[in-house]
Amino acid sequence: MALLDVKNLGISFGGLRAVDSFHIEVEKGQLYGLIGPNGAGKTTVFNMLTGVYQPGDGKITLDGNDITGKRTIDINRAGIARTFQNIRLFKELTVMDNVKVGLHEHYKYSTIAGILRLPSYYKKEKEMNEKALELLKVFDLDKEKDFLASNLPYGKQRKLEIARALATNPKLLLLDEPAAGMNPNETKELMDTIRFVRDEFDMTILLIEHDMKLVAGICEKLTVLNFGQVLAEGNTAEVLKNPQVITAYLGE
């Protein structure tokens, strides 16, 4: 069975049917792309998958569990982590602390232990620091670990968001336009990193992207969204040859 199984998902904003009868099946370990013109409803799909928006109708199943309409934090605990199209970092925290907040649920000690500096504080903090540093190294951010997140250059901020999401140890990683604002070199590096994350962490990744080089380069399957509806789906090479898809993109 697919890791992520979405059926008949839909939502309206006032009179606007932003997403309608959307469906997708992402297999474990897959690198899956969700593409479509501006305003097609891609981010809205992510927002429904992560509980930011309540789906109007449809059913979302993750690893056999129905997570439709659950709260964002419960969905994260069920195994979905994400990044945001408009970067949402903890700006006033250091790069390291951004990742450590992601580790929050996995390295626990009580608030009292934190205030009184009991041994559990030192033990868990040390483990967290090691784990966070390990993650930062994957994204080549270890040298900037003590910078405030807001002081990172744009491309690195995007990477930090991925590191933070991974810190929650998800089953499924959702990336909303990870290459936006990156130069071609950074994008190429990012493609390698995404592949590395999939292989090394045994991760399943669903990503939204406008950069066709990236999509064609790393995604195995694609779903194309247009005006809130699935226009095409299938293997990347076939979908990109689909005349309807080409028109949708050229027509925007």
Partner 1 sequence: MKIKTDKIKKISKSSFTIYGMVIMAYVIMQILVSTGSLSSLMEGLLVPLCIYVILAVSLNLTVGILGELSLGHAGFMCVGAFTGAFFSVATVDLITIPLLRFGIAIILGALAAAVFGIILGIPVLRLRGDYLAIVTLAFGEIIKNFVNVIYIGTDKNGFHFSMKDAVALKLEEGGKVIINGAQGITGTPNDSTFTIGIILIIIILFVILNLVNSRAGRAIMAIRDNRIAAESIGINITKYKLMAFTISASMAGVAGVLYAHNLSTLTALPKNFGYNMSIMILVFVVLGGIGNVGGSIIAAVLLTLLPELLRGLNDYRMLIYAIVLIVMMIFNSSPKAIELREKYSLKRLFTKKTKGEDA
Ligand X SMILES: Nc1ncnc2c1ncn2[C@@H]1O[C@H](COP(=O)(O)OP(=O)(O)OP(=O)(O)O)[C@@H](O)[C@H]1O
Binding site for ligand X (CB under 6 A): 13, 16, 18, 36, 38-44, 85
Q: Examine residue 52 and tell whether it contacts partner 1 (CB under 8 A).
A: yes
From 9-17, 32-40, 112-120, 242-250, give the range in contact with partner 1 by CB under 8 A: 112-120
- The residue (of 34 and 96) whose beta carbon lies closer to ligand X is 34
Buried b (16+ CB within 10 A) or exposed e, 149-183: beebeebbbbbbbbbbbbbbebbbbbbbbbbbebe
Phi and psi angles of residue 76, each rounded to the nearest 5 degrees, phi first: -65, -40
Residues 31-50 that bind Mg ion (CB under 5 A): 43
Nearest distance in Å: CB 109, Mg ion: 38
Contacts of 224 (CB under 8 A, 6+ apart): 35, 36, 230, 231, 232, 233, 239, 242, 245, 248
Q: In angstroms, rounded to a whole number, what is the distance separating the alpha carbons of residues 121 and 220? A: 43
Q: Examine residue 81 and tell whether it contacts partner 1 (CB under 8 A).
A: yes
- 222, 233 contact by CB (below 8 A): yes
Q: Examine residue 175 and tell whether it contacts partner 1 (CB under 8 A).
A: no
| Residue ranges in contact with partner 1 by CB under 8 A | 50, 52, 71-73, 76-77, 81-82, 84, 88-94, 96-98, 100-102, 104-105, 107-109, 111, 114-117, 121, 124-125, 143-144, 146-148, 151-153, 156, 164-165, 167-168
